[in-house]
Amino acid sequence: MKEEIKKDYEKILKTLIQKRMFHIYQTSFSIRTENDKFLITKSDALFLEEEMFTEIHYKKDLSWKEASSDANIHSFIYQKISTAKFIAHIFPINLVTYSLYHRQFKALDFYGETVIGNKKIYEINDSKHFIEEVENVVQKNILKDEIVIIKGYGAYIYDRDLKELAKKASILENSSKILLKVKNV
């Protein structure tokens, strides 16, 4: 079962990589595998290599040694949101660029407006404790919204369906591209 899930997971991941949603060392992707475990990209994973995932427990232990630095965020989401089966931290260039100039994401296109809607763009001002602040912002806001956008850092998305997660990521990026063109950024 895990191998079958992993193959679907890798197929979607490959598509998202081709759309430039993921970047080496900057992003993460995970899937819930059991009641207290999940697969997550390794901290030094080169996407699409043989062993890019590690399975870890929700509670921090030795299994976290190789995991992405986003493991704490993913663990929090899985523990708090029972419908979350897949989580991604994406870094799509158009969304990140748009986030640098705006405080709100309000799509103008049909798919962006109906699927993504209106999203606040959270700004982190404490560069010394940036990663801790990202964790705080995501943990505080992910419970009320399945997409959290952080200025200059990308977005965290969760869903119960892998294809829906990929669809939202793609629409988010395409809508950002449209917004940038309309606003001449």
Q: What CATH number did the domain enclosing 105 receive?
A: 3.40.225.10
Q: Average pLDDT, whole number, for the chain?
A: 87
For residue 182 the two structure tokens come to 């309309």
Strands 53-57 and 86-90 come out as unpaired
pLDDT tens readout for residues 111-130: 999 999 999 999 998 888 89
88 HSE (CA, 13 A, CB side):
27
Which domain, by its residues, includes 65? 2-182
71/15 Cα distance (integer angstroms): 22
pLDDT > 60? residue 48? no
Strands 53-57 and 118-122 come out as unpaired
Split into its structural domains, the chain has a count of 1
Going by C-alpha positions, the residue among 173, 157, 176 that lies closest to residue 101 is 176
Share of the chain above pLDDT 70, in %: 85
Q: What is the pTM of this model?
A: 0.89
pLDDT tens readout for residues 133-163: 999 999 999 999 999 999 999 999 999 998 8
